[in-house]
Amino acid sequence: MNCTQARDAFNAAILQELSIREKADFEAHLCSCRNCQAEYEALGAQLTPSSSKRAKAQRVAALEERILAAGRLELRPRHTRRKLFWAFSAVGGAAAALVFVLFHFLGHAPALHESEDVSGDAWSFVDGDSANSRHLEGVELGMPTRVLWEKRVPGLAGTYKPLAWKGLVIIGTAPAKFPLSEGGGLTALEARSGKVVWQKTFAKGDYYKAKGFPDRCLLDGHLYVTDGRVCRVFDAVSGEATAAYAAPEPQGGWSYLAAAQGQLYGGSRDGRTVFCVAQCSGKTVWSRPAGGRVFVPALSGNRLYLQTSDGDVAALDAIDGHEIWRHEDAAPKGKAAVYAARDRILVLANSDELACFDAASGQRLWLRKIPLLYQSGLALDREAAYILAGRAALDLGDGHILWQRTEAVGGLCTPPTVAGGRLFASTGKKPGSLNVLSASGELLGATEDAAREACDGAIVSEGRIFTVGGGRFLALTCR
């Protein structure tokens, strides 16, 4: 939805006449456009809920007047209409020129102060995207050559995956001392220089996230972070706290977090409920029982895919929450994370089983059990799932092994990252070192200076590779 379409929807939004999908598009635009948001709020202040009937009558009258005016214009002599046409054209041309000038100068403003997100060049989610794929599309990336800068950060850096947006990189840290559930911190750095932009510490709250679910995302200039109880909202540029969204009752907590099209998605702390709230206001859009305990769903293509501890797999409409399909006892039982790519859904269970489903129908396509599979997580693109910290790849079509690197050593705690047609994996000779592989498993290079003891892998943003671990945060340049 652009600004013109949003303004056309002002009246219907105030009168609550938008459909669920129209409302989602409308609120998504308001979140990313402060001018439209201000205009809408000013208009809403003039039309209070107590006078909604009168307001609706006024809007109907205004619409009737516009129709009558158009009719009167059509009935005027043709030469008069031509004059009016050229007059309006002149005004429109001037306005277009002004818009061009503004766009030209604003487009060259420092990236740090822009308010819109850039799709395809930012690591906005804990696992790369809302589908948990750890895959960044549309990126051209060279080979890492050297460490551009290094920064030590307070607390236990490397507990969380970094996020990146418009020249910013944000790192989460766990407390330096136990108990780890009693606080945490956030540090925002300039991606180019490593300069600290802002830092925040929290006295208490579940910022450690030992359970491993995605708990933060960075969209439209806002940072959303769950602390196990609420979703906290921060301005990404200043670090200022702007809001705190409570989970819909009676969930009593907020765990999983993802976002798309102006809506935030969460899971209750006990995993038995999934819900959706408006990204700008925190108002509940929908909430429904999951039919079992849910750990990490995947949000992709206007659908929320989930697995329950009972072994059910289901797809919900992300806009209104209705169930599209559900298959009982089709997925591995127990705790599991869901991943989505192309037309496939993967369920990775703590039993080291990996099940693949057709996204459209929910039909199970294949099931594999591989030792240590769950411990290392996975990344996937449109063709393959990369497992065992980047040591092997499975074909998404039938689950057969495409390639396997038996000589790789090192820890298995780090899922690889897929970007620019390459695989970045910590499977080198030293634990935590960063290897660069081709999609076919060929070793293209290694960066021995990458962070040691890192269990979050690497992220890619603005042509650089960022890796964190062992209290160090590094930015690597690429040729």
Three-state DSSP class for 460? strand
| DSSP-assigned states of every residue in 142-199 | --EEEEEEEEE-SSEETSS--EEETTEEEEEEE-SSS-TTB-EEEEEEETTT--EEEE
Instruction: Tally Cβ neighbours within 10 Å of residue 156.
Output: 20
4 pLDDT above the threshold of 80? yes
Asked whether the predicted pLDDT for residue 415 surpasses 80, the reply is yes
pLDDT band at 154 (very low <50, low <70, confident <90, very high): low
Residue 315 — φ and ψ, nearest 5°? Answer: -125, 130
Lowest mean pLDDT among 41-50, 53-62, 143-152, 276-285: 53-62
By the 8 A CB rule, do 238 and 256 touch? no
pLDDT at residue number 348: 96
**Of residues 71 and 110, more confidently modeled:** 71
Per DSSP, 111 falls in state: G
pLDDT of residue 464: 87
Question: Percentage of residues in the chain with pLDDT exceeding 90?
Answer: 34
> Which of the two residues, 275 and 205, has the higher pLDDT score?
275
The tens digit of pLDDT for each residue in 62-100 reads 555 555 554 554 444 444 444 434 444 444 444 444 334
- Give the pLDDT of residue 159: 60
Q: What is the pLDDT of residue 142?
A: 79
Torsion angles phi and psi, residue 175, rounded to 5: -60, 150
Predicted local confidence at residue 355, as pLDDT: 97
Arithmetic mean of pLDDT, 288-309: 94
Evaluate whether 470 touches 158 at the Cβ level (below 8 Å): yes
Backbone angles phi, psi at 109, to 5 degrees: -70, 160
Q: Hey, what CATH topology would domain 135-478 get?
A: Methylamine Dehydrogenase; Chain H (2.130.10)
**Which range is most confident: 29-38, 129-138, 212-221, 339-348?**
339-348
Domain ranges for the chain: 3-113, 135-478
Give strand pairing partners of 326.
Answer: 314
Q: Is the pLDDT of residue 43 over 90?
A: no
Edge-first strand listing for the sheet containing 257-260: 257-260, 263-267, 273-278, 284-289
319-328, 339-348, 369-378: segment of lowest average pLDDT: 369-378
Here the tokens at position 382 are 């449109």
Query: Is residue 334 scored above 50 in pLDDT?
Result: yes
User: Which of 43-52, 78-87, 122-131, 169-178 is most confident?
Assistant: 122-131
pLDDT band for position 211 (cuts 50, 70, 90): low
Contact 336, 306 (CB under 8 A): no
**Mean pLDDT over the full length of the chain:** 78
Q: What is the pLDDT of residues 219-268, one digit of tens each?
A: 888 999 988 888 999 999 999 999 999 999 766 788 899 998 889 999 99
According to DSSP, the residues that pair with 395 across neighbouring strands are 384
Q: Which of 74-83, 151-160, 349-358, 383-392 has the highest mean pLDDT?
A: 349-358
pLDDT over threshold 90, residue 323: yes
Q: Are 234 and 223 in contact (CB under 8 A)?
A: yes
Query: Average pLDDT in the 423-447 region?
Result: 74
What pLDDT shows up at residue 51?
A: 44
More confident residue, 423 or 56: 423
The answer to whether residue 33 scores a pLDDT higher than 90 is no
| pLDDT recorded at residue 427 | 52
pLDDT confidence of residue 92: 47
Q: What is the pLDDT of residue 7?
A: 83
Tell whether the torsion through CA atoms of 163, 165, 169 and 172 is positive or negative. negative
Residue 188 CB-density burial (10 A; 0-12 exposed, 13-18 middle, 19+ buried): buried
For the cut 90, the answer to whether the pLDDT of residue 365 exceeds it is: yes
Torsion sign (Cα): 325, 342, 127, 28: negative
